[in-house]
Amino acid sequence: MKRILKWAGLAVSLIALIVGGFALFIQLRSMPKFDVSVPDITVQSTPERIARGRHLAMSLCAECHRHPTTRTLSGTQMLDLPEQFGVAFSKNITNHPTKGIGSWKDGEIIWLLRTGIHPKTGLYVPPWMPKFVHMSDEDLQSIVAWLRSDDPIVAATDQDNTASTPSWFAKFLVTVAFKPFDYPKTAIAQPDTTNLVSYGKYLATGVYDCYACHSADIATMNQLEPEKSPGFMGGGTQMLDVNRNPMYATNITFDKTHGIGSWTEGQFIVALRDGFRPNGAPIRYPMPRGVHMSELELRAMYAYLQTVPVSAKANVPSYAYTPASGSTAGEKAYHAYGCVNCHGATGVGYGDLRLADKKYPDDTTLISVIRNVRTYYPESTMPVWDGHVKEDDYASLAAHVRRLGK
């Protein structure tokens, strides 16, 4: 018996040593490296491609890479990344020759976006960076054409990149689960835009990647075959708002109780484009606004979601803000309308509110901006609050914004 116990103890110790060694290996390693084989592609720039590329990139690249102060794609902290993945900063992708991607070849950009392998270092880009496995060649080249353009948002910006700090869990995932994708061996054609269901599937699973957030968990999503992702479109993924509080993606299948089965096409369009649910409640960050999407795209996505298997999964309540006792009326309104989710408790979030006090010195203009930001900035992703904010709340909101600036 003693011999059996002795050998059992040795076996347990050996297993513990192996597990501990593997855990230490994961902790100490960098992102894995892979071979690089950049395609020989030179993108021909045309006005049509630049326009199409901007249309796509403003909903894709700008969401993560736009800095709240420079307002260019010079990179910033990804505040909505779940904490289990670590701390991440998007990179400077302006046309700066050394700090951005101004010196990159067209094929290098396409290689990175297709495979997830950095063309200069061979390092695998972490899973929070989308890989456009299913995007058409034309759409991808249009994005590259726009990145090369003279649009002010990609103008060379002298801002250093900040290194990300992947967690042990993120390193574990890229070691055993997430891998780079093979570069396509055949061309990927443009979708048929006259077939709404087919076009909607292309947009929801190949371009805007709705499933990545609206399925069960980012860690288990299937980028190669999106519709096989666990809990596909049934919601549940935990994200964070700019204050690092938990927000959960909702069920967007056509279940009438927990999903969007009772929404009309028009209500769906308003929700994605303007940011308000059919009951008038704001859709809060980190859900992006579809202000850059065309009505055709929104209609197509609605048509496709109607074909997705229905999930009866109940939505998980997101973090609810409760202003501290003694808060001003403006701070209470700032919390009640969800401004805090995007702009943060201090005003520095997705947009830097500290600049508003000097930029709009009179309250009439500041309230006008809050009421309908599109009048001043047609491409802003901030909701048009006119008709949604109580008239008595505008003055106190403006006063609170001024306090944030000071």
Distance CA 223, CA 212 (A): 8
Residue 81 has pLDDT above 90, yes or no: no
Domains 196-305 and 329-405 share a fold: yes
What is residue 254's predicted lDDT score, i.e. its pLDDT? 98
* Prediction pTM value: 0.85
What pLDDT is recorded for position 30? 60
| CATH code that applies to domain 196-305 | 1.10.760
What the block records as the tokens of 247 is 């927000």
C-alpha to C-alpha distance for 170 and 166, rounded to whole angstroms: 6
What is 340-382 written as a DSSP string? Answer: HHHH-TTSBSSSBGGGHHHHS-SHHHHHHHHH-GGGT-TT--S
Average pLDDT, the chain: 87
Percent of the chain with pLDDT strictly greater than 70:
91
284 membership: H or E segment, kind and range: none
**Distance, CA of 148 to CA of 350 (rounded, Å):** 25
Q: Which residues contact 119 (CB under 8 A, 6 or more apart)?
A: 36, 38, 104, 105, 107, 108, 109, 111, 112
pLDDT at residue 396, rounded to an integer: 94
Q: Say which residue the tokens 């990145």 belong to.
A: 147
Q: Please, which pLDDT band fits residue 19 given cuts at 50, 70 and 90?
A: very low
| pLDDT given at position 115 | 94
Note the pLDDT tens digit of each residue in 268-315: 999 999 999 999 989 888 888 888 899 999 999 999 999 999 999 999
**Reported confidence tier of residue 175, pLDDT bands at 50, 70, 90:** low
Contacts of 212 (CB under 8 A, 6+ apart): 130, 218, 221, 223, 237
The band of 176, judged by pLDDT with boundaries at 50, 70 and 90, is low
Q: Please give the CATH number for the structural domain made up of 329-405.
A: 1.10.760
Is the pLDDT confidence value at 324 over 60?
Answer: yes
Q: Are 142 and 52 in contact (CB under 8 A)?
A: yes
pLDDT, tens digit, 9 for 90 and up, residues 359-368 = 898 999 999 9
pLDDT digits (tens, 9 = 90+) for 346-404: 888 777 788 888 889 899 999 999 999 989 888 788 889 999 999 999 999 999 999 98
Task: Determine the pLDDT at residue 121.
Answer: 92
Residue 328's CB is within 10 A of a number of other CB atoms, namely: 13
173: tokens are 């995932």
Determine the Cα–Cα distance for residues 311 and 235; give it in Å rounded to an integer: 9
Closest CA to 351 of 371, 327, 370, 336: 370
Question: What is the mean predicted confidence (pLDDT) over 219-234?
Answer: 92
CB 290 within 8 A of CB 272: yes
- Is the Cβ–Cβ distance between 330 and 396 less than 8 Å? yes
Q: What 3-state class would DSSP assign to 247?
A: strand
98 Cβ neighbours under 8 A, 6+ residues apart:
none
pLDDT value at residue 193: 95
The full set of domain ranges for the chain reads: 47-176, 196-305, 329-405
For 188, the token pair is: 């990927």
- For 91, residues 6+ apart whose C-beta sits below 8 A from its C-beta are 65, 75, 161
Q: What percent of the chain has pLDDT over 90?
A: 57
Task: Supply angle C-alpha 6, 11, 16, rounded to 5.
Answer: 125
E strands of 219-270, at which residues? Answer: 238-240, 246-248
Say which residues have a Cβ less than 8 Å from residue 313's Cβ, sequence separation at least 6: 231, 234, 235, 236, 251, 255, 258
